[in-house]
């Protein structure tokens, strides 16, 4: 990736597929990924890293075993390493994720929704 200004709205407008993270930047050993979500993902955890969700548009519910966290535009939440969670969105929601390079989107769950990030 080259060093240049990134317009998040333009990056999000460049794809329609849901639950497919698109890498928009790198920060040291971390990737910034844009994604569109609708419906429910899979329950999973990331044993070795925290995961930061930042909502750009829509409403994201991060389901946790001890209660839900509901986020709107401009709000973020960090899921601590090892905490099982399940992202869900009733309507299409755009987010940014901040994760170490190489983090698997489905964490420990695996399965058919596992995919590497695409370059946006």
Reference 12, options 88, 114, 78, 93; nearest CA is: 93
Start-to-end CA span in the chain (Å):
10
pLDDT band at 120 (very low <50, low <70, confident <90, very high): confident
Beta carbons within 8 Å of 10's beta carbon, 6+ residues apart: none
The whole-number pLDDT of residue 108 equals 80
Beta carbons within 8 Å of 15's beta carbon, 6+ residues apart: 22, 36, 118, 120
In this structure, are residues 1 and 106 in contact, taking their beta carbons and an 8 Å threshold? no
Share of the chain above pLDDT 90, in %: 81
Give the Cβ contact number of residue 42 at 10 Å.
17
65: DSSP letter:
T
The whole-number pLDDT of residue 2 equals 54
pLDDT tens across 25-79, in order? 999 999 999 999 999 999 999 999 999 999 999 999 999 999 999 999 999 999 9
In this structure, are residues 105 and 115 in contact, taking their beta carbons and an 8 Å threshold? yes
What's this model's pTM, rounded to 2 decimal places? 0.91
């Amino acid at each position: 990736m080259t060093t240049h200004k990134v317009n998040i709205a333009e990056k999000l407008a460049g794809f329609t597929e849901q639950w497919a993270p698109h890498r928009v930047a790198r920060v040291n050993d971390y990737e910034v990924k844009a994604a569109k979500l609708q419906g429910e993902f899979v329950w999973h955890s990331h044993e070795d890293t925290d995961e930061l969700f930042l909502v750009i548009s829509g409403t994201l519910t991060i389901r946790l075993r001890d209660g839900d966290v509901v986020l709107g535009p401009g709000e973020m939440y960090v899921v601590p390493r090892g905490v099982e969670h399940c992202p869900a969105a009733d309507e299409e929601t755009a987010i940014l994720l901040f994760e170490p390079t190489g983090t698997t989107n489905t964490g420990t769950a695996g399965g058919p929704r596992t995919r590497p990030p695409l370059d946006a």
